[in-house]
Chains A and B, each alone.
Chain A
Amino acid sequence: MDLIVAVLFQLIYVISNLALISLGLAIIFGMMRVINLAHGEFLMLGGYTVVVATNAGINIWISMLILAPLIVGVIGVVVERLLIRWLYGRMVDTLLATWGLSLLLVGIVTSLFGASTGTTVSPPLGVLRIGEYSASGYEFFLIIVTILLLFGVWLTLRFTKLGLLARGTMQNAEMASALGVSTSNIYMITFGLGAAVSGLAGGLLAPITGVLPTIGATYIAKAFITVISGGAAILAGTTAGSILLGGINGIFSFIAGSTFGEIALLLAAIILLRLMPKGITGRFFRKSL
């Protein structure tokens, strides 16, 4: 019984971890149909914000939950204004430009902080006991935050004016613009929000993974396949993609080790795309957010 609970906990953690690292990407992808290749670097910047701020004496909770999303969100808005907005409608060029941005950010952070950082922060919460097994309290906290974050994005999209405008722009940008919505502003805000969510995720994961300028690369492969398998619906896509792929990854990791878990995840995603080229939400839950 305890074993089952412990394994289930781990499985849920894997799933929510996947959702956490993918959500920021999914917001930008859902709005603009563009995969932000600098996504990993937004996560990395969130992590650096937390480490730098905590070492400067700021409370770790403030730096994780407030500073990381704020700073990365502002960076996202700046990036959108300086780089992305020139490339709307040119998808391939947008991909390439964000890839250039990704290299640029890695380069800047490496120049500023060096190729490796010795300073890290330790996970602030203690150990959680499940019978004779133990689980990390911080992992439990991350699960809760992920659920709250998904709920928060749903509330924003469903019940606020910004959410309504964003959904309208998502469905038909030309029509929204004809009705007087400044789609350029909407894109800027959503890009900033996506970046902020990525920054928050990166900040939350920093105590577990540590920070390196190139740490983005370890996240993005998983985030990309989750978002692509999920499809264009922001919330339903992320949730469905994370549950399916995270579930497969967790189960195979439990049976055959984490290496096989990753292989299984990739194979599942490729087979899924053969069956549903537009992702899960391209076929099911089409009307969802």
Chain B
Amino acid sequence: MTNSMLRKMRPTFIYALLGIIFMLAAPSVLQLFTIINLTTAIALSVLALSLALIWGYGGILCFGQVAFFGLGAYVYTISAINFGGSTWAILVAIIVTSAFASALGYFIFYGRVSDVYLGVITLTVTLIFFSLIRRTSGPEYKIGNALLGGFNGVSSPPINLPWNSASFLFPEQVFYVAMAALIICYVFVGWLVNTKFGRVCVAIRENELRAELLGYDIRAYKLGIFTIGAGIAAVGGVLFCNGVGRITPDIFNLYNAALTIIWVIVGGRGTLIGPIGATFALFYVTSALGGQSVFNNNLVLGIILIIFVLLVPKGVAPTIIGWASARQKKSQRRVRRRRRAEGTR
């Protein structure tokens, strides 16, 4: 790592450090129930992070990021049941999901499908997963020893210590694993967007034609970032089915697909911490809404999405950063003016 990259990554390290402090402090402060809930929120924020990468930095409008999340969860569950342990299952989940994403991405990016189409195609893939897996309720739908279970889903075996399938992790330990995975993914993505690869992806987001005329194969770059994003989403999926204890086809429904988009819009495209923060915030809003029946979740999310698209299209984090830097500039200018005035006196 060069010095300039370290400097650019300073905020990333600060947030990661805060995350580590939170990880160490939370179990001794919070109740077990909250910790289990937090594990789910962490898993979802890994999903948000993956979309923040490919949409916010790669400019790829993927409406079906939750498909990779759900696929990762399903592959993990099925292979953990078959292997009788989670070590290889986690790897298989990430590899299979990335492979699926790169196959889908090949058709999309090498067909030069434009962004509006891309969103709709990825959404369609998600919905097809939803309707396909719902139908797999009979005993004939099984992969190895794992029944797919249709509408009811499959219960996921918990993560165990590496190569020791007898020692399952307790919910509190799963929380540590989840938080560590989130921090690692966050630092990884923060590093990735500052590498040459990441900067080319941002260039492509800004202007595809120019990037291509400069000699970059935009199809390959897009496919690359899309595949990496899917792999990160799969990590989230593995954590999610561990937090919840089972995986059902409902993960692929329209509501969850919309939710993923909303996290990134509310948090802000082009930042990483924004979508993660928005995930935690909205997770608590929706769980609070679940306790009452006046306002339905769909209603509230719909209004949030419309309001943000119309009024705060940049999202919360970039808007705040914008204000902050505008104020900073203003005060700098004021200081400079004052100095100049003092100098002339």
Chain A residues engaging chain B, CB cutoff 8 angstroms: 33-35, 37, 83, 86-87, 91-93, 95-97, 99-108, 110-111, 213-214, 216-218, 220-221, 224-225, 228, 258-259, 262-263, 266, 269-271, 273-275, 277
If A217-B253, A225-B124, A274-B110 touch, whether A97 touches B298 (CB-CB below 8 Å) is no
Give the chain B neighbours of A271 by CB distance below 8 A.
Answer: 107
26 contacts between A and B (CB under 8 A): A33-B116, A34-B116, A37-B120, A37-B123, A83-B310, A92-B61, A97-B305, A99-B258, A99-B261, A99-B305, A100-B304, A103-B299, A104-B299, A104-B302, A105-B302, A107-B300, A107-B301, A111-B295, A111-B299, A217-B127, A217-B253, A218-B131, A258-B135, A270-B121, A273-B111, A274-B110
Complex Cα spacing A224 to B115, Å? 14
Give the one of B104, B110, B127, B130 with max A CB within 10 A. B127
Contact for A106 among B110, B132, B298, B303, CB less than 8 A: B298
Give the chain A neighbours of B302 by CB distance below 8 A.
Answer: 100-107
Give the chain A neighbours of B329 by CB distance below 8 A.
Answer: none
- What's the least CB distance linking A233 to chain B, in Å? 16
Complex Cα spacing A44 to B135, Å? 22
Q: Judging by beta carbons under 8 Å apart, are A266 and B258 in contact? A: no
Interface check B244, CB cutoff 8 A: no
Complex Cα spacing A99 to B260, Å? 12
| Given A103-B298, A105-B302, A277-B112, 12 additional A-B pairs, CB 8 A | A35-B116, A83-B306, A92-B119, A96-B265, A99-B261, A100-B309, A103-B299, A103-B302, A107-B300, A228-B120, A274-B107, A275-B111
Q: Judging by beta carbons under 8 Å apart, are A103 and B305 in contact? A: yes
- What's the least CB distance linking B5 to chain A, in Å? 30
Complex Cα spacing A273 to B112, Å? 9
If A86-B310, A221-B124, A262-B128 touch, whether A91 touches B116 (CB-CB below 8 Å) is yes
If A99-B261, A104-B306, A217-B253 touch, whether A266 touches B125 (CB-CB below 8 Å) is yes
- What's the least CB distance linking A118 to chain B, in Å? 19
Q: Judging by beta carbons under 8 Å apart, are A270 and B107 in contact? A: yes
Give the chain A neighbours of B328 by CB distance below 8 A.
Answer: none
Complex Cα spacing A111 to B116, Å? 31
If A96-B309, A101-B306, A107-B299 touch, whether A266 touches B261 (CB-CB below 8 Å) is no
> Which residue from chain B places its CB closest to the CB of A216 in the assembled complex?
B254
- B contact residues, total (Cβ < 8 Å): 46
- What's the least CB distance linking A185 to chain B, in Å? 22
Contact for B132 among A34, A225, A263, CB less than 8 A: A263
If A92-B115, A99-B305, A103-B305 touch, whether A259 touches B120 (CB-CB below 8 Å) is no
If A106-B302, A270-B107, A274-B107 touch, whether A95 touches B119 (CB-CB below 8 Å) is yes
- What's the least CB distance linking A238 to chain B, in Å? 16
- What's the least CB distance linking A221 to chain B, in Å? 4
Chain B residues engaging chain A, CB cutoff 8 angstroms: 61, 63, 104, 107-108, 110-117, 119-121, 123-125, 127-128, 130-132, 135, 253-255, 258, 261, 265, 295-306, 309-310, 313
- What's the least CB distance linking B104 to chain A, in Å? 7
Complex Cα spacing A259 to B261, Å? 28
> Which residue from chain A places its CB closest to the CB of B141 in the assembled complex?
A259
Which 7 residue pairs spanning A and B have beta carbons closest together? A107-B299, A104-B302, A100-B305, A103-B302, A107-B298, A100-B306, A221-B127
Complex Cα spacing A225 to B117, Å? 9
Give the chain A neighbours of B265 by CB distance below 8 A.
Answer: 96
Complex Cα spacing A66 to B2, Å? 69
- What's the least CB distance linking A79 to chain B, in Å? 11
